[in-house]
Amino acid sequence: MEMPLTPLEFARRARKLYPHREAVVDGSLRLSYAQFLDRCDRWSSALQRLGVKQGDRVAIISPNTHAMLEAFYAVPQLGAIIVPLNYRLTAADFQYLIEHSGACVVCAHSDYLEAVDSVRERLPAVRHFVALEGTRPGWLDYETALESSSTDFVPPNIAETDVLAINYTSGTTSRPKGVMITHRSAWVNSVGTLVHIPMSPADRYLWTLPMFHANGWTFVWTVTAAGATHLCLRKVEPQRVYAQIAMESATVLCAAPTVLIAIANGPAEQRRQVRRGVRVLTAGAPPAAATIKRVEGELGWIITHAYGLTETAPFITICESRPEHASLDADEGAMVKARQGVELITSGELCVVDDQGREVPHDGETLGEIVARGNVVMKGYYNDPVATAEALKGGWFHTGDAAVVHSDGYVEIRDRFKDVIISGGENISSIEVEGVLLRHPAVLEVAVVGVPHEKWGEAPSAFVVLRAGATASAAELRQFARDHLAHFKAPQEINFVLELPKTATGKIQKYLLRNRASAINRQ
């Protein structure tokens, strides 16, 4: 008899094989797999008593807590759809996303109860509000609901093509879109991740990545599939990361490049004492080779670079290590690791195509768009057939990422198409310029954007964050870029800033920097 492909199967197996193994650590709370999954069943039963049915949406606003993790099992095993929301948004954003998803239940951590209450009167479709932590009048208490519930609930028949989660895009240039991820695509991505990033029951996974971001890159289920331990981290700061790695013997973590930069620049004393050999999966934005070299060289961690999007559940490529890479020196090895790589075994087909849909030559120079098709691509955008048809035209998902393919088949992103700078008819990759500037010893972070130029049409402008205690002039950094790049690629402007604007998942919001640069030019 066939069984549907669903990550809920990982929970069944973990309960059977690892009932007494430590599943979750959240502060002083420690749960075995038997205890953790018992709580998930109790929450399913409580939600069912509240009237949640198959196909209903349940929105969650929370940092990385045990309650947040429990929702990724309790909600979908009812056949309902989990809607994990970016907790760093505004109350008005919460209102829009809750309304758009049609959520009938909203669950929130204590830090966000007031924000939700401020828009509660504008959410008539929500039948129940649940406080995951903390108390507030008019909110159901999560722990009380669990204590008063049994583990019995009526499981529906779930098809692998049913929607498991709606994950909202960051919406940096338009309203966020709700990406529908099915049980099948979540299962396939989790298994593919384990093929390329092997884990075992001995591993302890530190939650430095928000669980709301593409379902924690599916690690909410992948860790359980391996019978490993979830180490919840509610706030990501270098000192907290170092402390958790030391106290809980963390072995694996995920982080966007900007988070890696922050961790690699934490207090020197703690940095020197941090546990070596931690395996790190980085994605979310192209990492600079200089960042990879520093993390591996100074911290002794092992970095693997993956690429994907919310719409692909999320991974479609992995920069897998090959035997010939072992002979590369540190600089060359870091440059290879910074590439997006090749298809995951399970992700399906990926191509880089020109504007006529033809595959570009594998010459490391010809620019095209990454397109993908296969088992991890979204079912579509929720309640948005026009955007769905545009994104999936021709039977391929169009990423909007501009890339080249090297002779060995490894894909390397050069930019988002909207971020490519066209100066005097020449294409300039902002990522390439950023990678060079990050090699300067005084530079901590950098973002390069195109700004209007009277002669060239556009010109690169750099926003630079310096390392603590370091100094560098604009002229020095411009010359450094000219020494390592074709001169037309060097930034015409260097703007020193204290920090770069970022999304909750660590992506730099370049549209804000473009606006700022244009305003500076008009002055």
Interval 286-313: pLDDT, tens: 788 888 988 999 899 999 999 999 999 9
Interval 434-480: pLDDT, tens: 999 999 999 999 999 988 877 777 889 999 999 999 999 999 999 99
HSE of 247 in the Cβ direction (CA atoms, 13 Å)? 14
Inter-CA distances, 195 with 49, 286, 313, 378, 480, Å: 39, 22, 16, 21, 41
* Domain 33-181 and domain 236-416 have a common topology: yes
Q: Tell me the CATH class for 420-522.
A: alpha beta
pLDDT value at residue 506:
74
Q: How confident is the model at residue 520 (pLDDT cuts 50, 70, 90)?
A: low
Interval 502-516: pLDDT, tens: 876 677 888 888 888
Average pLDDT in the chain: 93
pLDDT value at residue 522:
56
Q: How confident is the model at residue 171 (pLDDT cuts 50, 70, 90)?
A: low
The closest alpha carbon to 98, from 74, 73, 125, belongs to 125
Q: Bridge partners of 450? A: 460
Average pLDDT of the residues in 75-93: 94
pLDDT value at residue 100:
97
Please state, in angstroms and rounded to a whole number, the distance separating the CA atoms of residues 145 and 517: 52
pLDDT value at residue 150:
95
pLDDT at 410 over 70: yes
Handedness of CA 308, 309, 312, 314 (dihedral sign): positive
Q: How confident is the model at residue 500 (pLDDT cuts 50, 70, 90)?
A: very high
Helices 219-226 and 66-74: crossing angle in degrees, nearest 10, is 90
pLDDT value at residue 385:
96
The closest alpha carbon to 476, from 429, 437, 432, belongs to 437
Please tell me the CATH code under which domain 33-181 is placed: 3.40.50.980
Q: How confident is the model at residue 521 (pLDDT cuts 50, 70, 90)?
A: low
pLDDT at 172 over 60: no
85 contacts: CB under 8 Å, gap ≥ 6:
59, 60, 61, 94, 97, 98, 168, 212
Determine contact, residues 461/449, Cβ cutoff 8 Å.
yes
First to last CA, the chain: 70
CATH fold for domain 236-416: Rossmann fold (3.40.50)
Q: What is the dihedral of CA 439, 304, 235, 39, to 10 degrees?
A: 180
Share of the chain above pLDDT 90, in %: 76
Output the pTM of the full model. 0.88
Interval 116-156: pLDDT, tens: 999 999 999 999 999 999 889 999 999 999 999 999 999 99
pLDDT at 49 over 90: yes
Q: Which uninterrupted H or E stretch holds 179?
A: strand 178-182
Residue type, 59: A
Q: How confident is the model at residue 185 (pLDDT cuts 50, 70, 90)?
A: very high
pLDDT value at residue 523:
56
Please state, in angstroms and rounded to a whole number, the distance separating the CA atoms of residues 443 and 281: 23
Q: How confident is the model at residue 425 (pLDDT cuts 50, 70, 90)?
A: low
Interval 240-292: pLDDT, tens: 999 999 999 999 999 988 888 888 888 888 888 889 999 999 998 778 888 89
Share of the chain above pLDDT 70, in %: 98
Domain ranges of the chain: 33-181, 236-416, 420-522
Please state, in angstroms and rounded to a whole number, the distance separating the CA atoms of residues 84 and 61: 6
Give me 56's structure tokens: 């209903």
The closest alpha carbon to 56, from 41, 39, 76, 70, belongs to 76
